[in-house]
Amino acid sequence: MIPCSHAIAAAIKEKISVESLVSEVYSLDRLTSAYRDAIFPICETGLDREHQDNGGLSGVEIFPPATRRPPGRPRKRRILSAGEIKMKNPRKRHVCSRCKTTGHNHATCKAAI
Ligand SMILES: [Zn+2]
């Protein structure tokens, strides 16, 4: 598992390495070993429909779920996961290209030439 933000905060306070709390399954060694062998794509035309494995439901034809697009404009912002907190991204400061100070831009610069 990966520790939550509270566990990370507690670990930092107690001077425990946060990396040591992350499960071994997330290690690079495990990831590379998972993809070590070749993975072959399933050929759609080569599939024998009669012998398809549909989870033990033989003879039952499975259709995709009946869905309709919800009304309204699709949201642009991602739905946060459980325990995830919205991080405020700091505003980029305007730096004037003419006098190199912040707070205004070249067009509104009042510095003497
Ligand atoms: Zn300026």
Q: State the pLDDT at residue 65.
A: 86
Q: State the pLDDT at residue 54.
A: 54
- If you measure from the C-alpha of residue 98 to the centroid of ligand 1, how many angstroms do you get, rounded to a whole number? 5
Q: Supply φ then ψ for residue 102, to 5 degrees.
A: -95, 165
Q: State the pLDDT at residue 68.
A: 87
- If you measure from the C-alpha of residue 91 to the centroid of ligand 1, how many angstroms do you get, rounded to a whole number? 19
- If you measure from the C-alpha of residue 80 to the centroid of ligand 1, how many angstroms do you get, rounded to a whole number? 40
Distances (CA, A) of 17 to 28, 72, 83, 86: 18, 46, 21, 25
Q: pLDDT tens for the chain, 113 residues: list them.
A: 889 999 999 999 999 998 889 999 999 999 999 999 998 888 766 555 555 555 555 678 888 888 888 899 999 988 999 888 888 888 888 899 999 999 999 999 998 87
Going from N- to C-terminal start, the domains of the chain cover: 1-44
Whole-angstrom distance between the N-terminal and C-terminal Cα of the chain? Answer: 60
pTM of the model: 0.33
